[in-house]
């Protein structure tokens, strides 16, 4: 009975820690878009450099994420996640007050490096702590992720206004969320349980890079990341350039994240019970084609509809996480598969936001980059259908 109680308490602590960490996984990024115009004015940042700013997340996730499995094996997953959250806090506090584009990018990278290791390791903790509820728990922490992303997107402008238009304070306040997430991970890191100690490993290490399913997951992750970070980096500006007010543009952007709250849980829980997730990947891709095509035709014609369509396609992220956890036979394999799929996937995604900004500057509008985004839904659908097949590594 005592053992059962300890197991139950440990599971609850792990779930709380997962949810608090997940809240922080996107708010450092989504808080930028609504005040990007003010940031550019304050730092003298060009559109191309702003495109680089939107690509810093994927660059950090691709490079730093590869180190997560080895760090977790040596230090333990919980300790590495704790370090990641500490780096996130440091970056969020310092970056608004750097006074220049280069240092702003640098401390954004510090914050995002912390997020990168957390991104990679959370699926393995789900697989190990909750092996029979992978889809449900993945859905729950995807919901928490979207709540954080939505809150930052919707509240950054009002908070900035409340501070007299000081966008620096509007951004720095999000460091408080990272501070709140630290205590439960500190407890897990000090424990001798699964999440606190060194990560378990397969004696016969699996070379995930040799498996087609790993590459399918990597391409799918890369394509959905390209779409997501273009939405995060440029959607508010697309709406503002179409004549919508900054506040409305921020709310419309928040809708794309808000939809992820119910969709993430429902889709992950449903996908976790299916043998194949290929059909879901197809449907999400079709929503994406419709959303990007609508923006291409006229952003102001039906802005709420386009936001809803793009919000649905953003559910490709929790689907990718669910498939990563399902395709690995063991938690240790899930760590490697997560690191490979996310790191290689983010490498694929790096050029996207930069290219969108450059195409906007070169063409003088949004039609060319939006056409590109609609076309990129095709490889996303193909990779998602391949990754969704009932296979394991």
> Does position 41 have pLDDT exceeding 70, yes or no?
yes
> Does position 201 have pLDDT exceeding 80, yes or no?
no
Average pLDDT, the chain: 87
For residues 12 and 203, which has the higher predicted lDDT (pLDDT)? 12
For residues 282 and 393, which has the higher predicted lDDT (pLDDT)? 282
**Residue 194 pLDDT class (50, 70, 90 cuts):** very low
**Residue 233 pLDDT class (50, 70, 90 cuts):** confident
CA pair distance 310, 54, nearest whole angstrom: 18
**Residue 1 pLDDT class (50, 70, 90 cuts):** very low
Say what the pLDDT of residue 133 is.
86
CA pair distance 386, 138, nearest whole angstrom: 21
Q: What is the pLDDT of residues 72-84, one digit of tens each?
A: 888 888 899 999 9
Which three-class secondary structure state does DSSP give residue 26?
A: helix
> Does position 203 have pLDDT exceeding 50, yes or no?
no
> Does position 121 have pLDDT exceeding 60, yes or no?
yes
CA pair distance 376, 318, nearest whole angstrom: 19
> Does position 195 have pLDDT exceeding 60, yes or no?
no
- Do 141 and 92 contact (CB within 8 A), yes or no? no
For residues 364 and 201, which has the higher predicted lDDT (pLDDT)? 364
- Do 287 and 309 contact (CB within 8 A), yes or no? yes
Count, residues in the chain:
393
Q: Which two tokens stand for residue 171?
A: 């951004």
Q: Which two tokens stand for residue 98?
A: 């750097």
Say what the pLDDT of residue 34 is.
83
What is the arithmetic mean of pLDDT over 199-213?
68
> Does position 199 have pLDDT exceeding 50, yes or no?
no
Say what the pLDDT of residue 295 is.
96
What is the arithmetic mean of pLDDT over 124-139?
85
Q: What is the pLDDT of residues 330-343, one digit of tens each?
A: 888 888 898 999 88
CB-count burial class (<10 Å; 0-12, 13-18, 19+) for 343: buried
CA pair distance 25, 4, nearest whole angstrom: 32
Q: From the CA atom positions of the chain, what is the Rg in Å?
A: 20
Q: What is the pLDDT of residues 264-322, one digit of tens each?
A: 889 888 998 888 999 999 999 999 999 999 999 999 999 999 999 999 999 998 899 99
Q: What percent of the chain has pLDDT over 70?
A: 93
**Residue 131 pLDDT class (50, 70, 90 cuts):** confident
For residues 217 and 353, which has the higher predicted lDDT (pLDDT)? 217
Say what the pLDDT of residue 253 is.
85
- Do 80 and 121 contact (CB within 8 A), yes or no? yes
**Residue 9 pLDDT class (50, 70, 90 cuts):** low
Q: What is the pLDDT of residues 148-163, one digit of tens each?
A: 887 888 899 999 999 9
CA pair distance 117, 338, nearest whole angstrom: 10
Say what the pLDDT of residue 2 is.
40
Say what the pLDDT of residue 55 is.
67
Q: What is the pLDDT of residues 10-37, one digit of tens each?
A: 788 999 999 999 999 988 888 987 888 8
DSSP string, 68-110: HHHHHHHH-HHHHHHHHHHHHHHHHHHGGGS-SHHHHHHHHHH
Q: Any idea which of 17-21, 105-109, 143-147, 254-258 has the lowest mean pLDDT?
A: 254-258
pTM: 0.78
CA–CA–CA angle 304, 305, 307 (5° rounding): 65
Say what the pLDDT of residue 93 is.
94
Residues 6+ apart with CB under 8 A from 239: 248, 249, 252, 253, 299, 300, 303
Q: What is the dihedral of CA 171, 174, 179, 185, to 10 degrees?
A: -120
**Residue 7 pLDDT class (50, 70, 90 cuts):** low
Say what the pLDDT of residue 302 is.
95
């Amino acid at each position: 009975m005592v053992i059962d109680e300890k197991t139950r308490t440990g599971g609850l602590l792990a779930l709380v820690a997962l949810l608090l960490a997940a809240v922080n996984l996107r708010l450092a990024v989504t808080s930028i878009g609504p005040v990007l115009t003010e940031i550019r004015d304050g730092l003298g940042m060009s559109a191309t450099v702003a495109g680089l700013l939107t690509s810093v997340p994927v660059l950090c996730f691709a490079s730093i994420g590869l180190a997560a499995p080895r760090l977790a094996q040596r230090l333990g997953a919980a300790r590495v996640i704790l370090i990641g959250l500490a780096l996130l806090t440091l970056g969020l506090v310092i970056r608004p007050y750097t006074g220049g584009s280069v240092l702003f990018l640098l401390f954004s990278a510090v914050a995002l490096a912390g997020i990168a290791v957390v991104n990679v390791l959370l699926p393995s903790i789900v697989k190990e702590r909750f092996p029979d509820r992978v889809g449900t728990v993945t859905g729950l922490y995807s919901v928490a992720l979207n709540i954080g992303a939505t809150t930052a997107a919707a509240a950054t402008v009002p908070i900035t206004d409340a501070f007299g238009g000081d966008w620096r304070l509007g951004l720095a306040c999000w460091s408080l969320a990272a501070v709140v997430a630290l205590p439960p991970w500190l407890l897990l890191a000090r424990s001798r349980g699964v999440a606190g100690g060194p990560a378990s490993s397969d004696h016969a290490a699996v070379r995930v890079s040799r498996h087609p399913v790993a590459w399918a997951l990597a391409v799918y992750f890369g394509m959905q990341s390209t779409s997501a970070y273009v939405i995060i980096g440029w959607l508010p500006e697309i709406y503002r350039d179409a004549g919508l007010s900054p506040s409305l543009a921020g709310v419309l952007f928040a809708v794309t994240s808000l939809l992820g709250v119910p969709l993430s849980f429902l889709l992950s829980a449903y996908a976790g019970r299916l043998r194949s997730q290929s059909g879901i990947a197809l449907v999400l891709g079709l929503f994406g084609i419709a959303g990007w095509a609508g923006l291409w035709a006229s952003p102001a014609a039906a802005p709420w509809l386009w936001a809803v369509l793009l919000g649905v396609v953003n559910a490709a992220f929790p689907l990718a996480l669910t498939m990563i956890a399902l395709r690995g036979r063991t938690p240790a394999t899930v760590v490697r598969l997560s690191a490979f799929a996310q790191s290689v996937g983010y490498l694929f995604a790096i050029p996207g936001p930069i290219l969108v900004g450059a195409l906007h500057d070169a063409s003088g509008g949004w039609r060319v980059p939006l056409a590109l985004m609609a076309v990129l839904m095709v490889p996303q659908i193909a990779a998602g259908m391949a990754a969704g097949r009932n296979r394991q590594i």
